[in-house]
């Protein structure tokens, strides 16, 4: 049996059935064997019932940066997963399913939206099939040569119940372990790796780990002839340790390393998981396991309280932050404007999701660019920094605090749901080059001028400094902080706050403004920001293999926009060879570039379904644009 370098996997089932657990355990089993992976979690915004799935790509030799269709393995917990994803499976792939659903019809799937059901029914009719699982299984087996492997889920769980005397009401909790076990066997993952993965994930519940591995052992006997049916190449030798983490996890780790001591939040998807992790690690320990500090994580009554309490913590001199998404950020705007007026360093971690309004709470987007850059009344300096992958998110988090305190401005660290909720293997970030810069801390004292006009960067003394009196107000003020409406003072203070942009641009290193991938000899330049980075880099590699000189410009500093450096990068090619890609309708980065540089980008690639851009979609779009078939492509693939 030949092996492959990479395998695409979909795990599907109803929301609340443990798919996130399946993703985490399977990822640990694969990573412990030396494999690399990325996994996106797509789910509805209800608690239980609606269709959810994990879309994963596993590689033996390198870290995957994007997802693709079709996939080689689908593991279905229910009939809805089969109906939803049967077109996503590749020739000679593997479908794992519950024999109980073999007789199910499309009309019996009550949890499916009628619009989705109608679309799927049209696809079924187009293939000349009946709208039932039996007909689909026959089509996959005969026409696509799929190995459709039926497992009697209820029988396996009943055997588990008898062995461990588990109440039947709780057996559904073990579906996640059943799915992990079946996929691990098909991929030929060693027993010990699966066992260790269960033990790691359920390390505080050893009996649960034991019970889940018992499911694996039962399935191993049933699926003996299918073990390693989709065989991965042996993993390439690894010379360093890796970890498995979500984007939320990585940002939380970055905050701890950066020295944050106060984090506020109001629970909102997809930001909340970051604060949940910080709550678990509120005691900061040294490498010798000695306490060296503490972290206060406060769940506030709303986002207004979240931003204002973070500002209050900052005024005392500690590093502080809050995390939110679009609707929450909207409520924070008055507080952020206050921070701008009072030169208060605070970090807002902003995870975008589909909008407007409540929009798509559990789906991804990049449509909040203008909100992050321009929201607020009046004008004041701010920094908006974006991250394109997990490792960037770690270092960018630390940089966000450094910049906030160095320039005494609010920093908005802009991410999105795709990065927040995706799980990835990654090298453990090196702390060797991590630098924590606190900025100018004043001792204050008698006659202290908090907003001194002697420099663009004011002397910052914490509240409570000895013999120091200071005033803070939302109104315009003089150097001491006293309310003042004198026109000359207004001009000086207003100008001072905004003119920080100049020194911000001068001080931030070029690699925190842009990163160019693919080479400087480009004939076409794809550009974007945030989580499109991974799929863009994969597309550039594919096109360069074909001889097309395409590069990707990853824009990291979104505000203040580095106009001069951008013009210098693109000066060698005409505007009609610039292509912008973004998860939004307007591809707003093109508008921001036009506003700040005068360069007009007419070629645009867009996806705003809330699902991630896949490699095949981007390659098809680039081909259409480069061949001058069209100037704009919108794609919609993915459930």
Whether 103 and 82 have beta carbons less than 8 Å apart is answered as no
pLDDT at 363: 96
pLDDT at 292: 74
Q: Buried (b) or exposed (e) across 253-268, using 16+ Cβ within 10 A?
A: bbbbbbebbbbbbbeb
Whether 421 and 270 have beta carbons less than 8 Å apart is answered as yes
Q: CA 475 from chain center: how many Å?
A: 38
Please calculate the CA angle 623-624-629 and round it to the nearest 5 degrees.
Answer: 145
Partners of 264 in the β-ladder: 298, 322
Whether 230 and 2 have beta carbons less than 8 Å apart is answered as no
Nearest-10 Cα torsion for 93, 97, 101, 106: -40
If you ran DSSP here, which 8-state letter would residue 428 be given? Answer: P
Whether 198 and 212 have beta carbons less than 8 Å apart is answered as yes
Partners of 263 in the β-ladder: 297, 321
Return d(Cα 542, Cα 540) in angstroms, integer.
5
Domain residue limits, the chain: 6-226, 244-427, 440-508, 512-634
Whether 63 and 81 have beta carbons less than 8 Å apart is answered as no
Tokens representing residue 529 in the block: 């920001």
Measured in residues, the chain has a length of 639
Nearest alpha-carbon partner for 583 in 638, 627, 546, 517:
638
Q: Which CATH class is domain 244-427?
A: alpha beta
Whether 233 and 376 have beta carbons less than 8 Å apart is answered as no
Who contacts 303 (Cβ-Cβ below 8 Å, separation ≥6)? 266, 268, 322, 324, 327, 328, 329, 331, 332
If you ran DSSP here, which 8-state letter would residue 427 be given? Answer: E
Q: Do domains 244-427 and 512-634 have the same CATH topology?
A: yes
Range list of H helices, 408-499: 417-420, 487-498
Nearest alpha-carbon partner for 421 in 363, 372, 371:
363
Range list of H helices, 44-166: 79-85, 114-126, 133-143, 153-164
pLDDT at 281: 84
Return d(Cα 581, Cα 613) in angstroms, integer.
10
**Regions of the chain short of the pLDDT cut 70:** 1-2, 285-287
pLDDT at 293: 78
Return d(Cα 571, Cα 411) in angstroms, integer.
30
| Beta sheet of 36-42, edge-to-edge order | 147-151, 89-98, 71-76, 6-14, 51-59, 36-42, 423-427, 242-246
Whether 462 and 315 have beta carbons less than 8 Å apart is answered as yes
Return d(Cα 459, Cα 9) in angstroms, integer.
55
Return d(Cα 99, Cα 370) in angstroms, integer.
50
Range list of H helices, 553-626: 563-570, 588-597, 615-626
Whether 354 and 382 have beta carbons less than 8 Å apart is answered as no
Considering the domain 512-634 in this protein, what is its CATH number?
A: 3.40.50.920
Return d(Cα 461, Cα 439) in angstroms, integer.
11
Q: How many CA atoms lie within 13 A of 40 on its CB side?
A: 26
What count of other Cβ atoms lies within 10 Å of the Cβ of residue 185? 23
Tokens 């506003």 locate to: 595
Q: What SS3 state is found at 109?
A: coil
Tokens representing residue 320 in the block: 């502080």
Please give the CATH topology (third level) of the domain spanning 6-226: Pyruvate-ferredoxin Oxidoreductase; domain 3 (3.40.920)
**Residues 393-443 pLDDT 10s:** 999 999 999 999 999 999 999 999 999 999 999 999 998 889 899 988 899
Nearest alpha-carbon partner for 153 in 170, 184, 178, 186:
178
Nearest-10 Cα torsion for 95, 96, 98, 99: 60
Burial of 1 (0-12, 13-18, 19+ CB in 10 A): exposed
**Residues 338-389 pLDDT 10s:** 999 999 999 999 999 999 999 999 999 999 999 999 999 999 999 999 999 9
pLDDT at 251: 98
């Amino acid at each position: 049996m030949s092996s492959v370098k990479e395998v695409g996997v979909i795990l599907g089932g109803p929301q609340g059935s443990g798919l996130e657990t399946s993703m985490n355990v399977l990822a640990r089993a694969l990573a412990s064997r030396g494999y690399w992976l990325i996994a996106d979690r797509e789910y509805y915004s209800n608690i239980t019932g609606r269709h959810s799935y994990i879309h994963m790509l596993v590689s033996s030799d390198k870290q995957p940066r994007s997802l693709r269709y079709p996939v080689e393995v689908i593991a279905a917990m229910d009939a809805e997963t089969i109906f939803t994803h049967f077109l996503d499976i590749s020739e000679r792939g593997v479908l794992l399913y519950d024999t109980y659903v073999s007789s199910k019809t499309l009309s019996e799937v009550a949890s499916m939206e009628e619009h989705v059901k109608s679309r799927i029914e049209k696809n079924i009719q187009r293939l000349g099939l009946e709208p039932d699982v039996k007909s689909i299984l026959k089509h996959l087996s005969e026409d696509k040569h799929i190995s459709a492997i039926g497992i009697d889920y209820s029988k396996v769980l009943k055997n588990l119940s008898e062995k461990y005397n588990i109440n039947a009401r709780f057996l559904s909790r073990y579906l996640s372990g059943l799915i992990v076990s079946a996929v691990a066997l098909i991929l030929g993952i060693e027993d010990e790796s699966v066992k260790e993965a269960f033990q790691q994930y359920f390390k505080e519940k050893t009996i649960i780990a034991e019970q889940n591995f018992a499911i694996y052992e039962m399935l191993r006997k049933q699926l003996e002839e299918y073990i390693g049916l989709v065989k991965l190449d042996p993993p390439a030798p690894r010379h360093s340790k890796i970890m498995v983490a979500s984007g939320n996890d990585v940002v939380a780790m970055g905050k701890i390393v950066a020295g944050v001591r106060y984090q506020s939040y109001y629970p909102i998807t997809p930001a909340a998981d970051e604060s949940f992790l910080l709550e678990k690690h509120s005691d900061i320990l040294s490498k010798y396991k000695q306490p060296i500090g503490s972290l206060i994580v406060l769940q506030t009554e709303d986002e207004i309280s979240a931003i204002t309490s973070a500002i209050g913590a900052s005024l005392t001199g500690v590093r502080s932050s809050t995390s939110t998404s679009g609707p929450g950020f909207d409520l924070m705007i008055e507080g952020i404007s206050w921070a701008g007026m009072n030169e208060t360093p605070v970090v807002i971690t902003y995870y975008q999701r589909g909008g407007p309004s409540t929009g798509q709470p559990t789906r991804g987007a990049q449509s909040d660019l203008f909100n992050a850059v321009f929201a607020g009344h009046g004008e004041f300096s701010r920094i908006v920094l974006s991250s394109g992958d997990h490792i960037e998110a770690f270092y960018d988090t630390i940089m966000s605090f450094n910049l906030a305190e160095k320039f005494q401005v609010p920093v908005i660290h802009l991410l999105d749901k795709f990065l927040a909720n995706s799980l990835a293997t990654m090298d453990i970030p090196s702390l060797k080059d991590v630098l924590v810069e606190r900025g100018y801390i004043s001792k204050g004292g008698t006659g202290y001028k908090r907003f001194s006009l002697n420099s663009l960067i004011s002397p910052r003394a914490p509240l409570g400094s000895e013999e120091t009196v200071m005033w803070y107000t939302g109104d315009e003020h003089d150097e001491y902080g006293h309310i003042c409406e004198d026109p000359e003072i207004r001009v000086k203070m207003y100008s001072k706050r905004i003119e920080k942009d100049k020194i911000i641009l001068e001080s931030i290193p070029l690699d925190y403004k842009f990163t160019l991938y693919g080479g400087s000899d480009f004939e076409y330049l794809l550009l974007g920001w945030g989580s499109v980075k991974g799929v863009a880099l994969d597309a550039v590699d594919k096109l360069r293999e074909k001889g097309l000189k395409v590069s990707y410009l990853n824009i990291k500093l979104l505000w203040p926009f580095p106009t001069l450096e951008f013009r210098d990068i693109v000066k060698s090619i005409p505007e009609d060879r610039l292509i912008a890609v973004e998860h939004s309708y307007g591809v707003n980065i093109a508008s921001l570039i036009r506003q700040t540089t005068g360069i007009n980008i007419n070629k645009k690639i867009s996806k705003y379904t809330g699902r991630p851009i896949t490699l095949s979609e981007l390659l098809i779009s680039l081909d259409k644009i480069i061949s001058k078939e069209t100037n704009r492509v919108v794609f919609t693939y993915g459930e």
